């Protein structure tokens, strides 16, 4: 599922007047096209739905089977997409604002996830890996005992875990770029350990399981592209700089 319903009403209005972020042009194509291409070329993916505006109907094809009308919030769009999929299996979520995403990054994330039994899998990228390839990228990082990481924009989940946790999931999404506030929600003990640099990935996974009753697994991706979302002009300029070096679109 590609979540492509974010309105272009914030910082990116400085680079494009398009009504939705997914439609902002890069190299002559809407930004979402590059995400669709990366997912379409993966042999591990057989069906794609996009939650977004009707202007994206041109993307319907062999793998893109539906364009689901979007709502007002990301969590509303997630609900709509899951309702449209009607599946009890795991669902891969990607946002429309990661145009540097590659098929190799998608395949690696899915292959790693297959090695661990869990209800949801969240992509993270180590700071050194990201800065080595994209030194000018400005991301939000959190220092853990194993290293310093930023969150990615690929998520694999079993839809059932949201049945009892929609409000909590909405709050975690709202705080996704404020790690201190997020850890405060998870408990004072985790917050202290985060500040001291002693918080581990395993302890976070265990806390999520206590709160959700579902097992989560952080997937450390060697592909920084999963963590580079375009939500401000500097991100857009970075995407413009690199889009011709490794991304291709054939839709």
Look-up of token digits 């694999």: 156
CATH code for residues 2-246: 3.90.550.10
Ramachandran class of 114: left when φ > 0, alpha when ψ lies in -120 to 50, beta otherwise: alpha
Lowest mean pLDDT among 32-46, 117-131, 193-207: 193-207
Average pLDDT over residues 186-194: 58
Mean pLDDT of 101-115: 98
Least confident segment among 45-54, 73-82, 184-193, 216-225: 184-193
pLDDT confidence of 186, banded at 50, 70, 90?
A: low
Asked if the model's pLDDT at residue 247 lies above 50, the reply is no
Q: Is the pLDDT of residue 119 over 50?
A: yes
Q: Tens of pLDDT along 14-51?
A: 999 999 999 999 999 999 999 999 999 999 999 999 99
Average pLDDT, the chain: 87
Q: What is the pTM of this model?
A: 0.87
Mean pLDDT score, 3-24: 96
Q: What is the pLDDT of residues 128-138, one digit of tens each?
A: 999 999 999 98
Domain coordinates of the chain in residue numbers? 2-246
Mean pLDDT calculated for residue range 212-231: 93
pLDDT of residue 195: 56
Where does the pLDDT of residue 64 fall: very low under 50, low under 70, confident under 90, or very high at 90 and above?
A: very high
Supply angle C-alpha 119, 157, 235, rounded to 5: 135
Nearest to 231 by CA among 121, 168, 151: 151
Q: Whole-angstrom Cα distance, residue 54 to residue 20?
A: 11
Average pLDDT rounded to a whole number, residues 48-66: 96
DSSP string, 138-164: ----EEETTEEEEEEEEEEE-GGGGTT
For residue 127, pLDDT beyond 80: yes
What is the C-alpha separation between 36 and 34, in angstroms, rounded?
Answer: 5
Q: Please name the helix (run of DSSP H) or strand (run of DSSP E) that holds residue 220, with its range, or none.
A: strand 216-220
Which own/partner pairs from 174-181 qualify as long-range (CB within 8 Å, at least 24 positions apart)? Answer: 176/151, 177/140, 178/140, 179/140, 179/142
Q: What is the mean pLDDT of residues 177-205?
A: 67
Over 90: is that where the pLDDT of 227 sits?
yes
pLDDT at position 197 over 80:
no
What is the dihedral angle through the alpha carbons of 81, 84, 90, 92, rounded to the nearest 10 degrees?
-40
The pLDDT of residue 74? 84
**Per-residue pLDDT, 174:** 63
SS3 237: helix
């Amino acid at each position: 599922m590609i979540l492509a319903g974010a309105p272009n009403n914030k910082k990116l209005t400085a680079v494009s007047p398009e009504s939705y972020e997914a439609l902002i042009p890069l190299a002559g194509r809407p930004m979402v096209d590059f995400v669709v291409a990366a997912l379409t070329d993966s042999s591990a993916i057989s069906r794609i739905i996009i939650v977004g505006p009707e202007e994206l109907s041109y993307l319907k094809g062999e793998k893109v089977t539906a364009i689901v009308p979007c709502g007002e919030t990301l969590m509303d769009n997630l609900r709509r997409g899951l309702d449209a999929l009607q599946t009890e299996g795991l669902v891969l979520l990607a946002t429309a604002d990661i145009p540097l995403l590659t098929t190799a990054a998608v395949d690696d994330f899915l292959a790693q996830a297959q090695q661990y039994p869990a209800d949801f899998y969240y992509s993270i990228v180590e700071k050194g890996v990201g800065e080595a390839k994209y030194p000018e990228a400005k991301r939000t990082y959190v220092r853990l005992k194993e290293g310093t990481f930023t969150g990615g924009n690929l998520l694999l989940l079993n839809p059932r875990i949201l049945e009892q946790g929609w409000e909590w999931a909405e709050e975690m999404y709202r705080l996704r770029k404020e790690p201190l506030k997020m850890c405060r929600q998870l408990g004072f003990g985790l917050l202290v350990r985060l500040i001291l640099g002693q918080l581990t990935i395993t302890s976070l996974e265990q806390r999520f399981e206590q709160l959700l009753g579902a097992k989560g697994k952080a997937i450390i991706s060697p592909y920084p592209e999963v963590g580079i979302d375009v939500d401000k002009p500097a991100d857009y300029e970075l995407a413009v700089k690199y889009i011709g070096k490794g991304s291709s679109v054939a839709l």
